[in-house]
Structure 1
Amino acid sequence: MLALLKTVLTVFVFLVQFSSGAVIKRNGSPPYYPWWPWHSWPPPAHHTYGVPTSTRASILSPLSTATRFSPFPTTTSSHDDDSFTSFFPVETEVASACPSSADGIAVTSSTAPTVTISPTRATSTKVPSTIQTTTVKPQSTQPTTLSPATTTSKAPSSSSASGDFWKPTAGVTWQIQIFGTVDTSIAADVYDVDLFDTPASTIATLHAAGRKVICYFSAGSYEDWRSDQSSFQASDKGSAMQGWQGEWWLNTNSANVRSIMAKRIEMAVSKGCDAVDPDNVDGYANANGIDIQEADAVDYLNFLASNAHSRGIAIGLKNAGGLINSVLPVMQFAVNEQCEQFNECSVSKPFIDAGKPVFHIEYPDGAPNISPEAKIASCSVPAASGFSTVLKTNDLSAWVDPC
């Protein structure tokens, strides 16, 4: 009887020792599981034991179902937890999911969440979230913040050009440079520069020298290289612009397009521009692919003028001679290209008659090497009397020859 009792006790002690050593935590290594080969570490994505808590949320995120079979204990664990109590398979629900960036939610908590594994069976494939997160508003990719009431699809006409903004007079001298680092040494009363590419510091330098600054942007075309190009929707674009790679006509009736242009005007204000030069507003006279008509173009220009004037800056009409009589009251100047070449300078005379400048560009053959005869032909145009005319190269770089 005594021998039998000793045998039972020996077996009992052996079983206790064996059970206490069933799972061995390796020094500096993840736990050892006989069914989990070392070469496969780290474990598959739906397993989180032994994974640093800072990465658990990302590992758990794309769970296809809430129900998993897991060899893990039914208590919360971490990589440094030695109290692994069981590894028999139990049916568990991983009650955790990471919010998606597509939802516009950012997880900003610096402390990693605790993942709890529960033995409860899920009743739905949707995974409830138990991760502690800090919800923030999605960050805008736009360069500036709009004031209220600037994104309507239609805008009333600007009341008049009588607000507190710059009103240039006919005959002022000017320089236009759209490409390259702006040369601020040119003797001109007014500079026309690219809105996106010209830093505020350059505009400040020009102001310090007594110059006024007009900021150019395309208001009627989508340009695929601009920093805000991703803000446009596919439905905003019409036909590709012939001869201009990477540009498409815009649906200027679109509320989204108008919102973007209002932001561009706000950018001009933030950089210190005195006026804006919105280009490509003559889509109505081209194969635009979105049925933009002349009345739409007039309404759009009134919208742009209202936004510019309400922010304290001037605005000009770029080309689009057919709209002059409709929008002259809300425009402070005109920018015209090649009216001498196409024999249409008289169309812009109403600006001169109203005491407003016509900033006129000609691109003579051979520029910058222009013969005296060619310069006389470009500058001595009776219909352009009173215009502020400059001769430029086609790339609108710094070189200029004023008439």
Structure 2
Amino acid sequence: MRIRLRRRAVRCRLRRALSAGAVLLLLVPVYGCRVEFTPPGAPTAWPAESARHWQWQWQLSGPLDPDVDADVFLLDPVRTTTAETADLRARDRRLVCQVHVGSLLPDDADASRFPETVRGAAGRRPGSRWLDVRQWDTLEPVLADRMRLCRGKGFGAVVLADADGYLHRSGFPLGFDDQLVFNRRLATLARSLDLSPGLLNDVPQVAALAPDFDFAVNEECVRLGLCAKLLAFTEAGKPVFHVEYAGSTTDFCVTTVGYGFTSMRKERTLDAWRISCALP
């Protein structure tokens, strides 16, 4: 009986020692094999000295190609899986999600949360409708959840799409100041959720909004002759990710790289295909 008790005591001490060792292994970092990348939900940093030398990819359709030679990926948070974001993050890619903040589609998963009073005229996307951005108390909870989806999937930054309803026939009497207030509130909301905010287009408000946003995404500033207006970002050490849908990179890259933008040529479908501008 005494022998059995001793054996049982020894086994218990061994189990306790093994458990303590396991805890110790969890607490002590294994620096030799640890993968360094920003943890999920932390805002993306845009160091001025290197961000202008990063290549980027914008893909919203087709199978995701993780092997594209780009440092920054702008993706749809609904279509992109957590496995895909984890793979990209393991490759030290910076991830930006695109959230539509000024419009909705009837088949959006959260469409029922937008009352008819905030739904306006037909938007730029087929089947979409503009939103009344003056009704912040109604929109904020839904838009916050859209951003939380980004954070939950491991994105560190968000770019605001359709944040320029005041420039269109939205069905509401939206003015410049209405949009300005809304966009600034969105930037603050993104930061509160540990996401770095980026502005998509809305070029007329760039000078006013550059202090509130960490980066800009622009479509066709060369074709439209608007690139100089984006200097408010680059002069503040903030990156501008730019795309053209027509023309030769040989022609437009000279202009945009000179401005300090990161540029590429894409198809409007925004699938995986791209031709990037060479960076200095």
What is the TM-score normalised by the length of structure 1? Answer: 0.55
Q: Is this contact kept in 1: 2:99–2:147, CA < 8 A?
A: no
Q: Which residue of 2 aligns with 1:276?
A: 158
Q: Distance in 2 between matches of 1:296 and 1:290?
A: 11
Q: Which residue of 2 aligns with 1:386?
A: 260
Q: Which residue of 2 aligns with 1:264?
A: 146
Q: Which residue of 2 aligns with 1:296?
A: 178
Q: Distance in 2 between matches of 1:382 and 1:217?
A: 25
Q: Which residue of 2 aligns with 1:249?
A: 130
Q: Which residue of 2 aligns with 1:320?
A: 202
- Runs of 4+ with >6 A deviation: none
- Corresponding residue SS for 1:336: strand
Q: Which residue of 2 aligns with 1:166?
A: 44
Q: Is this contact kept in 2: 1:241–1:249, CA < 8 A?
A: yes
Q: Distance in 1 between matches of 2:149 and 2:62?
A: 20
By how many angstroms is 1:385 displaced? 2.2
Q: Distance in 1 between matches of 2:43 and 2:57?
A: 20
Q: Given the alignment, which residue of 352, 363, 370 partners 2:234?
A: 352
Q: Given the alignment, which residue of 99, 104, 114 partners 1:217?
A: 99
By how many angstroms is 1:227 displaced? 1.4
Q: Is this contact kept in 2: 1:346–1:384, CA < 8 A?
A: no
By how many angstroms is 1:382 displaced? 5.6
1:131-280 map, 5 Å: 165-168=43-46, 169=48, 170-171=51-52, 172-241=54-123, 244-254=125-135, 255-280=137-162
Deviations 1:354-387 (A, max 9, x none): 111000010015xxxxxxxx22112121685210
Q: Distance in 2 between matches of 1:343 and 1:308?
A: 30
- Corresponding residue SS for 1:340: helix
What is the aligned length?
Answer: 231
Deviations 1:158-215 (A, max 9, x none): xxxxxx7323134121111011221100111110000111111111111000101000
Deviations 1:47-96 (A, max 9, x none): xxxxxxxxxxxxxxxxxxxxxxxxxxxxxxxxxxxxxxxxxxxxxxxxxx
By how many angstroms is 1:257 displaced? 1.8
Higher relative contact order (CA 8 A, sep 6+): 2
Find out whether 1:377 has 2:258 as its counterpart: no
Find out whether 1:396 has 2:278 as its counterpart: no
Closer/same/farther in 2, CA of residues 229 and 188 from structure 1, 3 Å limit: same
RMSD value, Cα: 1.5
> What amino acid maps onto 1:323 in structure 2?
Q
Q: Is this contact kept in 1: 2:256–2:262, CA < 8 A?
A: no
* Structure 1 residue ranges without an equivalent (≥5): 1-163, 366-373
* Structure 2 residue ranges without an equivalent (≥5): 1-41
What is the TM-score normalised by the length of structure 2? Answer: 0.79
Q: Distance in 2 between matches of 1:364 and 1:378?
A: 10
